Amino acid sequence: MKDNLRFGLIGRSLKHSYSPAIHSMIGGYEYRLFPLEPDELADFVKATDLDGFNVTIPYKKAVIPLCSELSPRAEASGSVNTMLRLPGGGWRGENTDYEGFLRLLGDDAPAFHEKKALILGDGGAAATVRTVLDELGIRHETLRISRYAGPDLKARHPDAELIINATPVGMYPENGKSPVDLGDYPACRLVLDLIYNPAKTALMLQAERLGIPARGGLLMLCAQATRAAELFLGQDLPRELAGSIADKIRRDMLNVLLIGMPGCGKTTIGRRLAELTGRELLDTDELIRKKTGMDIPEIFEKFGEACFRELETGVLREVSKESGKIIATGGGVVTVPQNLDLIRQNSICIFLDREKEKLDISGRPLSRSVGIDELYSRRLPLYRCWADLTFRVDDPDTTAENIKKELGL
């Protein structure tokens, strides 16, 4: 194997790709991003001096005519996501998405033998999914969906037991969109969404509400990357490597979002946690102040709580799309049901539970008008329901350190 191996990823929009981070954890070679417009693709493939590269949307089919040869799986699927330089010149097209999707489906595969799967989308990823399902003996249908389709799409194949989203609908930054309404699929027993950002798409969140198991595409991404690295390096890698990389990426990408009563220390603990982890702190109350030029009590006084909650949800909609941030929210964020999905899509939600008697309610409009006892009794069940983890708050510094340790940040 030669020294100074150089690889990369080509695609049209790569700004938020996790691939460099994944390949850096595998190690042993340089890995860079190469965003390309369609009219640049052929010239790049002909001129590049890379030893190999991965291919993502929208070029998994477009690179096939540029390959000198194809692996059997690439040929069967009509999709290429890995290109290897041949010794005599030219490129061999491989499909490591095959291994990635097989890993994502995992031990559930036998349960769907001779059952119906519905594949959403008809691009390169969908082609790979069809190839895997064919080999596993899982019947399938394909539903072609626009990138901007909404959940009111008329249901087809309502007897599908496995639904696989192979479209970009719901992918960052278009969070909140869903290709179908799962209520139209009463037979569905498992949802697989190949999107990995956000961690939980709108489709996955609906599945969870309906009690349907759902998995996102991060493990698939890491498994296809480790298989590509094996081809790049010409050596086998441990099977567990993909899972450990996925766990690390997941920890890094999820926001840490703090909820709790007014005066419980969300901003103080958030600031300390940001210092401890090197993450950016986003405080929704502060962002509302900057947006409106008014303090929170002034907004309540002039426009009322409903106006403030609308502003708060708008800010939350934007910050909750982010990855790897510390987010401090207002105490009443849990009073708006639609905020729950915004929080759950890309964050670990932490309830900071401080004794009622120790809450600092000075300058808190609702705490003064409603009364702390009434507010506490209303909101405590919501905090507990929304939270993934709960931390008792005595000393803010200690609480921040405990959160960092518990989350492995």
Active site residues: 60
Long-range CB pairs of 2-7, under 8 A, 24+ apart, other chains included: 2/51, 4/30, 5/29, 5/30, 5/51, 5/232, 5/233, 6/30, 6/32, 6/49, 6/50, 6/51, 7/31, 7/32, 7/50, 7/51, 7/52, 7/53, 7/54, 7/232
Which residues are bridge partners to 30 per DSSP? 6
Q: Which residues, at least 6 apart from 203, have a Cβ–Cβ distance to it below 8 Å? A: 165, 170, 178, 179, 180, 182, 191, 193, 214
In whole angstroms, give the CA distance from residue 117 to residue 189. 10
What is the β-pairing status of strands 52-55 and 82-85? Answer: antiparallel
In whole angstroms, give the CA distance from residue 288 to residue 217. 33
Q: Is 392 helix (H, G, I), strand (E, B) or coil?
A: strand
In order, the DSSP letters of 279-331 are PPEEEHHHHHHHHHSS-HHHHHHHH-HHHHHHHHHHHHHHHTT-SS-EEE--T
